Amino acid sequence: MNSPLLRATRRILCPDHLEAGKILAMGKTRTISTSSTGRPHRKTPKPKDACIICVSSRALFDLREGRTIMEDQGLEQYIKHMVDSENTPLAPGPAFAFVQAIEAVNLALLEINPEEKNLFDVVLMSENHAQCGVRYLNSIRHHGLNIERVCLTAGRPVTSYLSAYGTHLYLSTDHEKVKDALKVGVPAATLPPYSKSIEENDELRVAFDGDAVLFSDEAEAVAKREGLFRFFDHETENEDIPLQKGPLIQFAWILGQMQKKFRQVQTECPIRTYLVTARSAASAGSRAMKTLRSWGLDIDEAHFMAGAPKGPLLDKIKPHLFFDDQVDNIKSSTEYGLPAAHVPWGVANESKVSIHEGKDTSDTSENPPCAQEKASE
């Protein structure tokens, strides 16, 4: 496959095989503006125009070694370790390939319109001490990521800054921080800290559950309160009444708007979106599809699973991220090594259960080290 996203990804990862000032774009070698190192300039979007993706340090990178030092030897030794190791790049974390993929989408958008303003902008968020930040910056540079904004809070909650950064999506491995973000209206999801990234970057693939993710939890509440058969009747009776919007609808909408930019110029679109819902197509599918239509939101593929496990299907899709509010669906996905993002919102999350081995979220042992003697990222 030789999609626009794959070509753009090659420009991120393998620019050195071309002469300075040239890139491989749309199957051709083109002359572009370069830096003093001969590498391509990558446009940094202005925050007012961009889709802001805030990613925690532990979601972007693998911080297991540092966490062990923090737990065994304490804060001072942890900071010393990060400073002493600042020239050793951190390995990728569960959100790494997603970040690579959206940066490649940026390059593909700039191929069709060099003046494009509506791009992704990634912000690294960490509660680590500023002294630890040099290792993050060196790792960003080593991996060729275009991350210009970094937030280091020395133990204070990063969630208090999310609105100031204009966040459209916050990804973290800390369940409590994600819940805090959702409470103040910031779209957010929890990634299992050591799940694998999808390495196939031929296109950006994002899969969404329906209820309590794209849609509100109003229908799910009926099922919980009155049972499954009443849910089926309720959805049939209200088939022509659009569902209310859920916490991830804004992000899905932005993806849809970006897709339109490629379709308007009749070029292959490097973004593919999926609805993967536990709803039954016959009894509850029409309301879901009519709701999306009423919003003007085009989803490329819709899969109505009727309660069947989602993991096997997602293994075929191989999404860079799959958003779901149900812990069981997250576990089904991670069994296949997929980066599933839990959205702890709605009636299914009224009981405080973590995606990490079903433990109560008051247990902070899964949280990463920080520059204060408390759990953080």
Q: What's the full length of the chain, in residues? A: 377
296 dihedral zone (left: phi>0; alpha: psi -120 to 50; beta): left
Q: Which position has the token pair 């990222």?
A: 377
Q: Which residue has the tokens 């699973």?
A: 305
- Alpha-carbon distance of 247 to 136, in angstroms, equals 29
Strands annotated E in 143-230? 149-152, 169-172, 188-190, 204-208
- Catalytically active residues are 209
Q: Quote the distance between the C-alpha of residue 173 and its chain's center.
A: 11
Return left, alpha or beta for 152; rule: phi > 0 is left, psi -120 to 50 is alpha, else beta.
beta
Task: Give the residue ranges of DSSP H helices in the chain.
Answer: 4-13, 57-60, 64-73, 75-84, 96-112, 133-142, 175-183, 218-226, 228-237, 249-264, 286-295, 311-317, 327-334
Q: CB of 258 within 8 A of CB of 229? A: no
Helix (H, G, I), strand (E, B) or coil at 207: strand
User: Of 271, 289, 284, nearest to 237 (Cα)?
Assistant: 284
Tell which residue, 205, 180, 177, has the closest CA to residue 191: 177
